Structures are given as C-alpha cells and as structure tokens.
Amino acid sequence: MPLLVMKFGGTSVADLERIRNAAGKVQREVERGYDVIVIVSAMSGKTNELVGWVEQTSPLFDAREYDAVVSSGENVTAGLMALTLQEMGVPARSWQGWQVPINTTDAHSAARFVDIPRDNIDRKFAEGFKVAVIAGFQGIGPDGRITTLGRGGSDTTAVAFAAAFGAERCDIYTDVDGIYTTDPRITNKARKLEKIAFEEMLELASLGAKVLQTRSVELAMRYKVRLRVLSSFEETDENSGTLVCDEDEIMESKVVNGVAYSREEAKITLVTVEDRPGISAAIFAPLAEAGVNVDMIVQNISEKDYEDHPGSVTDMTFSVPINQVERARKVMEEARTAGHIAYEELIADTEVAKVSVVGIGMRSATGVAARMFRALADENINIKVIATSEIKISVLIERKYMELAVQALHDAFGLEAA
C-alpha cells in the first residue's frame, strides 16, 4: 500500500472546525488508496501558553519538566484528530512520541532524532488501521524522559517519518498555498513556484522565509524526501502547492528563484582589533560558546592605528540576530577584560536588515552580483555588508529600505514571470 505523510501546523488545527477540515483532507487521501501518517502541531497559540505557564511557575525551570509540559499541546491535537477521523469512518489511532517510539538525544528542548522504529505502526496498518496520527515536536530520550525538538519541530517530525517509512511524499499543510518568489505582502508581483530545489529552499528558510523550518529542509535534502507545501484552507489536488524536490526533477531553473529578507538583524563592528594570527578564533569561539548566531563577517582595514604599531590593527564587522546584541556585547567585553582580545570600541547598529537573492542557476550564470548591486544603487540603497555562497548573495542595508530593496530585486530578476 503506498504511504503518504501529511503534516498540519497550528493554524490548520486551531479549533475543532479546522481539525474536521484537516481530517477531511486525510480522508480523501485514504479514499485514493493511501495509508497515511498524520503529524500534528499543537493548536495555534497553545505552545506559547504552555511555555508561559512554565516560566511563571519556575523561571529557572527543569528542562525535563519543561518538555513534559510543552509537549502536551500536540498530544491533545493528536487525540482529537484520531477521534474526528474515527467519527468519519476512517480507522485511525493516535500516538505520542514515546509510544512509537521516536528515539532522540537527551538535549531537552533541542533534541535530535536517533531513530524511528517502524514495527508498532506497521503492525497497526497490518491490522487494518488506515491512519496513524503522531504528536509532532516530541520524542523520548535515552533516559526514558519526554524530549522536544525545538520550535517548528513538527515539520522535522514529518520529514523524519517520511524518510523512515519510505513515504511517496510529505505534504506540509499550512496557512499559505505554496512557496512564493518573495513575500506577497511586500509585492503583489510575487509568484507561487511550482517547484523549488532543496538547496534553494534551505537557503530561503535560513535567510528568513518562514514557510518551512530549516532543520526539516536539511533532513529532506539528506534523505531525498519530496516535500509539498500547500494550504489547509483551499481545495487541493495533486497539482496544488509547491513541490520541494531534488534539482534533477526541475527541467531548468531561473538564475534567481527567490528574494528573502530578515528584519531582525544587527551589525556589530569591533574597531581597531589586533591584526594577528588567531584573532578571528579569539573573537568568534567565545561567541559560539555563548550561543550567539554569527552570520555575515567582514574584515576591513582600520582607519585608526595603534600609535606604536601602525598598520597592525583591523576592524571586524559581523551580523547577529537583533535579540542577541547584548549577549554578544557582554561576551566581547569579557574577552577583552580577560586579555584574549583587544579593541578600541564596539559599535552596534540595530537598524539594519538582510536581503538575499537565491537561485541554483547562479552556479552557471555570470553578472548576478552586478545586476543586484545596480538595482539597489538605482534606488539609492547603500550596501553595508556583502556575503555570498554558490547559490545566494546577501546584503545588509538600512532597515527602512528593506521593502523597497525586495521590490527592486524582484523586478530586476523578472521573478513575476514563470
């Protein structure tokens, strides 16, 4: 029997009516001849509520009890989904993570998959059940305690089950009808993509596109799990949504396939850092240990020199999430006090945004950077930092120009045309 994985996010199961709507989509796939594994999130807003209760009860909480509490939202949804399917005449059973079991590492609230044994669920399918409803976002650690996978972990759960069970496809149902060339709220020229390569989707997810969780795309790319993103709130068929697939399935890709952005960026510059071997490690190792997520890095010739050592200093600029600026500042001050690094001043600019163009076609095309920079220059948008990879170019600009930049780049690369 062919098998399909279907994942429903929080907005798709926000209340009983929406659960019935989602169950109807599952029922249609069963009628088409599939066995179905359904992965569900907690009802919209429920996880935030549970996290709030934990923090109010115990500000310095035990991570194991935190996972026990916040994973409960998915358990409720799974049970309600199974009951709804049963009422529709579809043989269904719900499963919590420990019942499968979904074996994970013991890193509470940030666990990673170890393995997903198939025996228990395969046995139920053999007995005549058509749907296994799995509580997403959770598993069981080596100590037998409940673990959670981090926010957005239900996407990763869905991909992991699709890989473990050799599913024909993994359908991610959400509140949008696919993946667009950019955010339709910024430009009405944004176009829904029929297909997008794993690598492109991974870059877009990591650069700020919130349709899919980054870890889920990484997992899908590793195990070649075909993903389809589609809307829970529209009638769908086999051609609906956007397929995330291997590059080989795409006949010919445009040079640039999407424009991504992130508002929540900050730029930090360490002025007159010693220019010596090992200085980069002395700066970025303690930042990594403190959990500061450094992205773009640029080293410049400093305008200032130490009086006795002309030419021996540099300016080091890097970007971090805006909510990590104070943590980064504290780490750098501690490193300077301890004598590990020396710098004259730390300057934080919290009024920047990151805008990126992404496309696997960049590998074989020239002039992409020139076209991007010209489009921004024509709008008088100054570039502060540039970073590139094989299939993306990212820039930091003033945040007030972010939407203008996205619109200009979308037009410059003709993304409104199929």
Give the residue ranges of the annotated binding site for substrate.
47, 74
- Rounded CA-CA distance 75/337 in Å is 49
- Of the candidates 245, 266, 255, 291, the residue with the CA atom closest to the CA atom of residue 346: 266
Residues in CB range of 107: below 8 A, 6 or more apart? 147
Binding-site positions: 7-10, 47, 74, 174-175, 180, 185, 210-211
Long-range contacts, stretch 181-188, CB < 8 angstroms, 24+ apart: 181/257, 181/258, 181/259, 181/410, 181/415, 181/416, 182/258, 182/259, 182/260, 182/261, 182/406, 182/410, 182/415, 183/261, 183/406, 186/261, 186/403, 186/406, 186/407, 187/406, 187/407, 187/410
- 415, 256 in Cβ contact below 8 A? yes
- What distance in Å separates the CA atoms of residue 335 and residue 74, rounded to the nearest whole number? 42
Q: Which of 39, 43, 172, 198 is nearest to 116 (CA)?
A: 39
Whole-angstrom CA distances from 190 to 181, 182, 186, 383 are: 5, 6, 8, 24
Spatial strand order in the sheet of 92-95: 92-95, 131-135, 35-40, 3-8, 169-174, 227-231, 242-245, 195-197
Q: Could you tell me which residues are annotated as the binding site for ATP?
A: 7-10, 174-175, 180, 185, 210-211
